[in-house]
Amino acid sequence: MKRGAWGSRAGFIFAVTGSAVGLANIWRLPYIVGENGGAAFLIIYLLCLMFIGFPVLMSEIIIGRSTQTSPSGAFLKLSCSKYWSWIGKMTIMTGFIVSAFYSAVAGWIFGYLIEAFRGNLSNFQNAADAELHFNNLMHSPLWGLGFHCCFLLICFFILILGVRGGIERGNKIMMPCLILVLVFLVIKGLTLPNAILGIKYLLEPDFSEITPKAFMVALGQSFFTLSLGQGTMITYGSYLSQKDNLIKSCLPVVAMDTIVSLLAAFAVFAIVFSGGMKPDSGPGLIFNTLPLVFSQMTGGYFLAIMFFLLVLLAAITSEISAMEPVIAYLIDEKKWTRKKACLFTAGGVFLLGIPSAWSMSVFEGFTIFGYSFIDFMSFLASSILIPLGGFFAVILVGWVWGVNNTLNHLKLGASKFFQKNPWASSYFWFCFKYSAPILIIIVFLNAIGIFNL
């Protein structure tokens, strides 16, 4: 059976950008910027992208492209050791876990889009009203389960159509829509009264806010937003041909991901400040604060629809990429058909996502190590498994396969770039071998409490 492959470089860029741009850009970034002091945080975040995020992304794409197989086989091929194939399997498991809780959250977003259509998000009188509405929905098991299921069904139907016919085509349709909606929201946001206060908050750094904790959050964000450490980029890279120029294919992705994050932050902050609110309500920022502002402005009904549509599109293109490593594994290693692999993966993700979807209803009060089910899954994936997956990917290319092999592979199809930019080899050499692995380890040990920054 022929393996899936991208139809064109643009197709790859759309798909990888679709994976990268997700809830982390539109939902998480604005609230962590709000909690960690605005512009100063953005500076650390950009540094993390440059010295850790981008090199890890390149490592994963290289691992995939050079081996043309799913993460488990890819780690085995490059290292020639079966222990490494277990690490590959761990990254696939991580993708499975991420898909499950991500789908539960995306289900809430889907539910909120329907609420927006029904006009229920644009007539709140005060903050308590908005919160009550949110709690009522969250306490309904049927609501959480139903939308988790509907959201997964959409992803399943895209995935089953294959790499080119489903993932690539879907992204080529959804990503331009997403950009249009985002640009509309930014323009609308910036023309609201007092929007300038939000922009000021984002652009005036307060350096006293640069703390070790901000650094940790920024690193976690750069990993999650680029879909690293969990097989996605290895799998997407494995559908690339050896001729492609990896620099030209990957730089636009990081640039687009960052631009979308910044635009989303501008839109959200402009809207929030124009309503006289503060962006410090954490995850509730888009579920409670924004709908309250929508209720107070003209055209709020329409804006609420646009906003939740934007987040839903971003979530679909990311969810399919989180599920694809599992599917690729079942096809490449177990020789399953794509249909069977998609059915099995979607079924498994649905089941594992149920306790997350019900974390505030049926599973309310149920905790693991003090975390609610969904927070535990998210902690396990984002603070432990994802950094580990990213760490092993750079160790594999920088130390095991060897940095020279890696650079030679990187130069395939990009030799002109390296001739014109002699510093690029040193930059990648330094990142693969030192900056990325060392910084990840420091942050990881800190996150699990082994040492405190």
**Per rule CB under 6 A, is residue 91 in the interface with ligand PHE?**
no
Which tokens is 32 given? 């962590």
- Nearest approach in angstroms of CB 232 to ligand PHE is 4
- Nearest approach in angstroms of CB 398 to ligand PHE is 22
Percent helix, strand, coil in the chain, to 5, is 80, 0, 20
Supply the DSSP string of 242-288, one letter for each residue: TTS-HHHHHHHHHHHHHHHHHHHHHHHHHHHHHTT--S-STTHIIII
**Per rule CB under 6 A, is residue 227 in the interface with ligand PHE?**
yes
Q: Which stretch binds ligand PHE (CB under 6 A): 16-24, 107-115, 338-346, 363-371?
A: 16-24
Residue 8: CB partners within 8 Å, gap ≥ 6? Answer: none
- Nearest approach in angstroms of CB 24 to ligand PHE is 3
Q: Whose Cβ is closer to ligand PHE: residue 274's or residue 318's?
A: 318
Supply the DSSP string of 192-237, one letter for each residue: STTHHHHHHHHHS--GGG--HHHHHHHHHHHHHHTT-SSSHHHHHH
Q: Whose Cβ is closer to ligand PHE: residue 66's or residue 91's?
A: 91
Q: For residue 372, what are the β-bridge partners?
A: 367
| Cα-based distances in Å from 410 to 71, 177, 384, 405 | 18, 32, 28, 9
Q: Whose Cβ is closer to ligand PHE: residue 15's or residue 293's?
A: 15
DSSP-based three-state secondary structure for 315: helix
Q: Whose Cβ is closer to ligand PHE: residue 98's or residue 395's?
A: 98
Using CB under 6 A as the binding rule, the residues of this chain from 290 to 349 that contact ligand PHE are 318, 321-322
Total residues interacting with ligand PHE, rule: CB under 6 A:
15
Among 11, 12, 18, 19, binds ligand PHE (CB under 6 A): 19
Q: Which stretch binds ligand PHE (CB under 6 A): 6-14, 23-31, 302-310, 351-359?
A: 23-31
Around Cβ 80, how many Cβ atoms within 10 Å? 9
**Per rule CB under 6 A, is residue 98 in the interface with ligand PHE?**
yes
Q: Whose Cβ is closer to ligand PHE: residue 227's or residue 274's?
A: 227
- Whether the Cβ atoms of residue 339 and residue 165 lie closer than 8 Å to each other: no
**Positions that interact with ligand PHE (CB under 6 A):** 19-20, 22-25, 98, 224-225, 227, 230, 232, 318, 321-322
